[in-house]
Chains A and B, each alone.
Chain A
Amino acid sequence: MAETKVYPKKIMSIARREYKGLLLEKTFVLSVLVQLFIASFSAFLVVGLTSFYDPMALQGMQMKESKIGVIGDTEGELFKLMKISDLEPVKYTDFREAYTDFYDRKIDAIINIPNETADGNDLINLDIYLPSSELKATIVSLQLKKPLEKFEQSVRSVRTMRLDGYTPLDIQIIRGNKGSSSSKLEFVYVALLPLLMFTPAFISGGLVIDMITEEFERKTLEMLLVSPVSLLDVVGGKTLVATAIAPVQSLAWMLLLGLNGIQISNFTEILLVVTMISLTLVTAGSMIAVLCKERGTAQLFYSLVLILLFMSSYLYTNSPLNLVSRLALDSIRGMEAFAWTAGYMFLALLLLWMLTILVKKDHMKV
């Protein structure tokens, strides 16, 4: 039986046909355009998304000192702490006066400090008035957080003495004279990089569904099968093209990020992981397409499966997304990385094998 064997040559010829089709229809150009469009927003995205991810990230940006109105105890320690921080405290005698200036945008927040000292017994209740639904509110709170924490610690240093058997954990972190950029680093390596790496693979999975269902719906498949190619050759060729274009795009993204000064370690291993995942997704896409034979249903099903896989990658260490982050940061040892990559390769091959069985069965029916 001819159709039970795999002919690499025929697969390649189908693959070449599909590849030319992609270029001819200028769809590839459009996809590059889309990615460029996204990149043009990237400056925006980095600021915007980082602040979603962690509002503390805004702290790294150059911000001028916010003016904040202080009423109540303007002689105490908190006032002094605010003075030496990123804030500019302004004294007011009563709330009405401060509010008038707040309304005229002379100050951006008002704080009421009660006359209660560290030696006392009562809670120290600070009232902070922030402009509602303004970015300024976030900025002021960020600038306020540090002096407030220092104030809390200084009050605590007196009061925690009264707690039984409390010894603070005291470990000094020796930083030298290096700055801090935690959130940005985490955002780039944990959110941005994996997303950029796998987006082409996500798209490829959808693409292969289009390629296969189109043949079913246009009824061109029957014509193809009359010629000496089997269904397996057709599906195999399409799967090959769709898989191959994903790592190329990922590579381009990595080079672009590299140009922007983002260091990426373990380049080849990341590419290998990306290829394996794109093979997995494309094979899954092909299976769905062969089963459904109809674009709308297949795409819906694929996107559901995609969301499912995406969600489950949150559940364990060394999920593809996490693995890429760890590889890029060089935070994983060789053996562990190798074992997991091999695991994903095994998964991809398993799916590929299942696809061949499925396609052979389907070919009998056709």
Chain B
Amino acid sequence: MSIPINIINSLYILMPGWYTVAKWELIRSGMKFSRRSIIAVLFTLLLLSGVSYAVSLTGMNLDQKIYSVVTSSSELDSIIDSDDRFDVLPADSMDADITIVEDRAYISGTKKSIAAADALEKVFINYRETVLSSYNDVNNSHPVWITIHDLERPESFQVFGSATKKDDQLSDIENEKLEGSEENKRTSTAGKHTSTIISPEELDELENSNSKTLFERQTIATPSNFTPPIPFTAILYSFLFIFPIYFVSQFYSSSIMEERTNRRCELLLVAPLRSRDIVLGKSMPYILFAMLLLFIISLYIERPSDIQELRTSLAMIAVIFPVLLLFFSLSFIAAIFSRSFKELTFAMVFFSVIVSGYVFFPAMFANVHTVSSISPMTLIVNLIEKGNISFGKYIFSTLPFYLVALSIYGFGTAIFREEDLFSQKTIPEKIMDCMEIYLSSPLGSVFALSIVSIPFVYMAQLMLIVMLFNLPLPYSVITMIILSAFVEEIAKSIGIYTIMKRRLKPLNLKNAGTLALLAGGGFFFGEKLVSVITLAPIASSAFGSVMTMGTLLLIPLLLHVTTTMVTSLGVYFTGHRSYVFFLLLATAMHTIYNIYMLRGLLFG
């Protein structure tokens, strides 16, 4: 009998616990805004909407008057003046970028004047199109028209093999084509009738095509008005998702930091609440609010009209959720680690840049290269374009986000206690605190710690791929090998370092050896687990092979244990101050091994 009652009791305590904290948090954040500041914010928002409306009318330019031009006729002056970029100087001025005499335009020869010449050419083309559009005779003024059609074909690198639908598609297109040609025949037999197909209104629309939004694509145009499709448009959409996360996480971290500085959080810690409840309660309102914003945005993007499209916008939320979780967990840990608001601001900027880099840059390669699939944003791109994604892809790109976010929350909650929140401990000290708490918990051991560190290592290495993508190929792979070895060595030895420095276990040779064995073995185990589950998709590229390398099982295990042994024994014999030296030594060994294994790829 007593057990169920216990469960009910703990449930009862658990639920209201975080719920109460969440309620406090809501009330508190509401009280922060006095009536005066609400009015001020609303007023600014009003001004902002007014200004953005005015800006949208002027057409978003910062390039006013960057080129100068001198002409000899006032008619030309007024044509050129219609473009903001030109500063039409009085006829007697010297050193203009472009001087027009009669029907010839001379450039001054500088780089700027070449750019000015390009711009001038466009001005003249625009003028020509405007004049021609004023004639109500499309067949003679705009004789050539282009119609753009989209054709599907498989990506050059397939991530997850899907059955080819080539023939289906072909027949679809054939049908469309047949209809099209019938239509063509009809129009051509109708003879003169063609001119009514393009009405003057459509021509007006053509005139305005420049003011079209980025996202609308042209499907019909004349060659002069034809603008190529802008690449990466879907990424612009993804920016819409990231902005609310930035904003809300700012408030979130600020709120935690504030309670630390004014020590109001102490009351919460004294209250009969578990730190888990406090963290959950403080995070929930912000997470829910951000989710609400994201939901509204996904509705705005997808504008669902049926159940299928509603599912797509829900899928977008599901894709963006792990990103949100990671962002929030980083804000949370930054707010706990920082010692001042300044530090928090910089840490937040730093994390934002890193995460957005990780999230956006691979997405630029959506549909081009398989590496893009490591970013959830690629999934958003796919959702916007195709309307669905496979579950495998979802797991592949979001699982690391979930794991890292949850472990960060775990570590953060562990040190959510007075001695870490209200002291001026350095960041390494706080990290060691996390490790210490984890290692002394019943489930904690260096073996498990190595496994837990795998998602972190994995994300760090993927981040490296993204960053090193710019470098020319042999250098990027070599740098990648060195840095990823370094990251792995840190992950394996940090637990051992903590144990030795904090004296969690008696220091003797046997312990030092066992710990190295366990940490190296744990890492090996976790690594193999990951490579089996997720790395298959990018294993085919050169970067992938750096990470999955080695189908031989015994040698990598030996390697991981040996390099960890180097650090462990080194620290044991010479003390924890020489940790960095032995860490670098282990990294060097690891690198040499990796380069040897990849020699074919590098030098062959």
Residues of A that sit less than 8 Å from B by CB: 21-22, 25-27, 30-31, 33-34, 37-38, 40-41, 43-44, 48, 51-52, 55-56, 58, 95-96, 99-100, 102-103, 105, 110, 114, 118, 121-135, 137-138, 141-142, 145, 148-149, 151-152, 155-156, 159-160, 162-164, 166, 168-176, 178-182, 185-186, 189-191, 194, 203, 206-207, 210-211, 213-214, 217-219, 263, 292, 294-297, 299-301, 304-305, 307-308, 311-315, 317-319, 321-322, 325-326, 329-332
Apart from A295-B341, A301-B41, what 7 extra A-B contacts exist at CB < 8 Å? A48-B232, A123-B197, A129-B150, A137-B228, A172-B105, A311-B48, A330-B112
CB <8 Å contact, A186 and B115: yes
A51-B231 in contact given A25-B339, A126-B144, A127-B180 (Cβ < 8 Å): yes
19 residue pairs bridging A and B, Cβ less than 8 Å apart: A30-B346, A33-B350, A52-B236, A122-B188, A123-B142, A134-B367, A152-B224, A160-B132, A163-B141, A171-B124, A173-B120, A175-B117, A178-B107, A189-B66, A217-B258, A296-B255, A301-B40, A315-B58, A331-B66
Please report the C-alpha to C-alpha distance between residue A173 and residue B116 in the assembled complex, in whole angstroms. 11
Please report the C-alpha to C-alpha distance between residue A160 and residue B142 in the assembled complex, in whole angstroms. 9
A55-B41 in contact given A34-B353, A163-B141, A172-B105 (Cβ < 8 Å): no
**Which B residues touch A211, using CB under 8 A?**
341-342
**Which B residues touch A142, using CB under 8 A?**
228
Please report the C-alpha to C-alpha distance between residue A295 and residue B342 in the assembled complex, in whole angstroms. 11
A126-B145 in contact given A25-B340, A44-B469 (Cβ < 8 Å): yes
Give the contact stretch, choosing among B169-177, B267-275, B288-296, B483-491: B169-177
Contact of A308 among B44, B145, B192, B197 (CB under 8 A): B44
CB <8 Å contact, B236 and A217: no
Q: B154 → chain A, closest Cβ, in Å?
A: 8
A131-B151 in contact given A96-B170, A295-B341, A308-B51 (Cβ < 8 Å): yes
CB <8 Å contact, B140 and A160: yes
Q: A218 → chain B, closest Cβ, in Å?
A: 5
Q: Which 8 A-B pairs have the closest CB atoms?
A: A182-B118, A132-B150, A141-B228, A148-B223, A210-B341, A317-B64, A182-B115, A152-B223
Interface of B is mostly: helix
Please report the C-alpha to C-alpha distance between residue A343 and residue B68 in the assembled complex, in whole angstroms. 23
Q: B225 → chain A, closest Cβ, in Å?
A: 10
Interface string of B136-158 (1 = CB under 8 A from A): 01111111111111111110100
Q: A303 → chain B, closest Cβ, in Å?
A: 8
**Which B residues touch A100, using CB under 8 A?**
170
In this complex, what residue of B is CB-closest to A191?
B62
Please report the C-alpha to C-alpha distance between residue A35 and residue B262 in the assembled complex, in whole angstroms. 31
**Which B residues touch A25, using CB under 8 A?**
339-340, 342-343
A124-B51 in contact given A25-B340, A99-B173, A218-B262 (Cβ < 8 Å): no
Interface string of B379-403 (1 = CB under 8 A from A): 0000001000000000000000000
**Which A residues touch B545, using CB under 8 A?**
none
CB <8 Å contact, B105 and A171: yes
**Which B residues touch A122, using CB under 8 A?**
139, 188, 191, 194
Please report the C-alpha to C-alpha distance between residue A159 and residue B98 in the assembled complex, in whole angstroms. 32
Please report the C-alpha to C-alpha distance between residue A17 and residue B343 in the assembled complex, in whole angstroms. 16
Please report the C-alpha to C-alpha distance between residue A31 and residue B156 in the assembled complex, in whole angstroms. 40
CB <8 Å contact, B224 and A55: no
CB <8 Å contact, B37 and A148: no
Per the 8 Å Cβ criterion, residues 7-23 of B in contact with A are none
Please report the C-alpha to C-alpha distance between residue A219 and residue B262 in the assembled complex, in whole angstroms. 8
Q: A38 → chain B, closest Cβ, in Å?
A: 6
Please report the C-alpha to C-alpha distance between residue A153 and residue B234 in the assembled complex, in whole angstroms. 34
CB <8 Å contact, B127 and A37: no
A55-B118 in contact given A169-B127, A308-B51 (Cβ < 8 Å): no
Per the 8 Å Cβ criterion, residues 81-99 of B in contact with A are 84, 87, 97-98
B600 contacts the other chain (Cβ, under 8 Å)?
no
CB <8 Å contact, B361 and A137: no
CB <8 Å contact, A174 and B258: no
Q: B357 → chain A, closest Cβ, in Å?
A: 6
A103-B228 in contact given A48-B364, A125-B145, A329-B112 (Cβ < 8 Å): no
CB <8 Å contact, A218 and B467: no
Interface string of B456-476 (1 = CB under 8 A from A): 000000000001011000000
Contact of A123 among B166, B194, B349 (CB under 8 A): B194
**Which B residues touch A166, using CB under 8 A?**
131-132, 135
- Residue of B32, B62, B180, B366 with most partner-chain A CB within 10 A: B62
A38-B353 in contact given A172-B105, A182-B115, A214-B261 (Cβ < 8 Å): yes
Q: A50 → chain B, closest Cβ, in Å?
A: 11
In this complex, what residue of A is CB-closest to B60?
A314
Please report the C-alpha to C-alpha distance between residue A301 and residue B247 in the assembled complex, in whole angstroms. 12
CB <8 Å contact, B114 and A179: yes
CB <8 Å contact, B232 and A217: no
Please report the C-alpha to C-alpha distance between residue A124 and residue B197 in the assembled complex, in whole angstroms. 12
Please report the C-alpha to C-alpha distance between residue A34 and residue B228 in the assembled complex, in whole angstroms. 34
Residues of B that sit less than 8 Å from A by CB: 29, 32-33, 37, 40-41, 44-45, 47-48, 51-52, 54-55, 58, 60-68, 76, 79, 84, 87, 97-98, 100, 103-107, 109, 111-112, 114-115, 117-121, 124, 127-128, 131-132, 135, 137-154, 156, 166, 170, 173-174, 177, 180, 184, 188, 191-192, 194-195, 197-198, 222-224, 226-232, 234, 236, 250-251, 254-255, 257-258, 261-262, 339-347, 349-350, 353-354, 357, 361, 364, 366-368, 385, 467, 469-470
Please report the C-alpha to C-alpha distance between residue A298 and residue B141 in the assembled complex, in whole angstroms. 58
In this complex, what residue of A is CB-closest to B113?
A178
Q: B355 → chain A, closest Cβ, in Å?
A: 12
A174-B105 in contact given A130-B151, A181-B114, A210-B341 (Cβ < 8 Å): yes
CB <8 Å contact, B115 and A185: yes
Please report the C-alpha to C-alpha distance between residue A170 and residue B194 in the assembled complex, in whole angstroms. 30
Please report the C-alpha to C-alpha distance between residue A133 and residue B235 in the assembled complex, in whole angstroms. 12
**Which B residues touch A330, using CB under 8 A?**
112
**Which A residues touch B140, using CB under 8 A?**
159-160, 162-163
**Which A residues touch B228, using CB under 8 A?**
55-56, 137-138, 141-142, 145
Contact of B144 among A148, A182, A210, A304 (CB under 8 A): A148
CB <8 Å contact, B62 and A319: yes
CB <8 Å contact, A317 and B52: no
**Which B residues touch A326, using CB under 8 A?**
65-66
A134-B198 in contact given A102-B151, A129-B151 (Cβ < 8 Å): no
Please report the C-alpha to C-alpha distance between residue A207 and residue B76 in the assembled complex, in whole angstroms. 50
- Residue of A142, A152, A322 with most partner-chain B CB within 10 A: A152
**Which B residues touch A311, using CB under 8 A?**
48, 51-52, 55
**Which B residues touch A331, using CB under 8 A?**
65-68, 87, 97, 112
Q: B126 → chain A, closest Cβ, in Å?
A: 11
**Which B residues touch A191, using CB under 8 A?**
62
In this complex, what residue of A is CB-closest to B36?
A291
**Which A residues touch B62, using CB under 8 A?**
190-191, 194, 313-314, 319, 321-322, 325
Q: B259 → chain A, closest Cβ, in Å?
A: 10
Please report the C-alpha to C-alpha distance between residue A34 and residue B340 in the assembled complex, in whole angstroms. 18
Q: B196 → chain A, closest Cβ, in Å?
A: 11
**Which B residues touch A168, using CB under 8 A?**
128
Q: A163 → chain B, closest Cβ, in Å?
A: 5
A141-B226 in contact given A31-B349, A99-B170, A123-B195 (Cβ < 8 Å): yes
CB <8 Å contact, B119 and A151: no
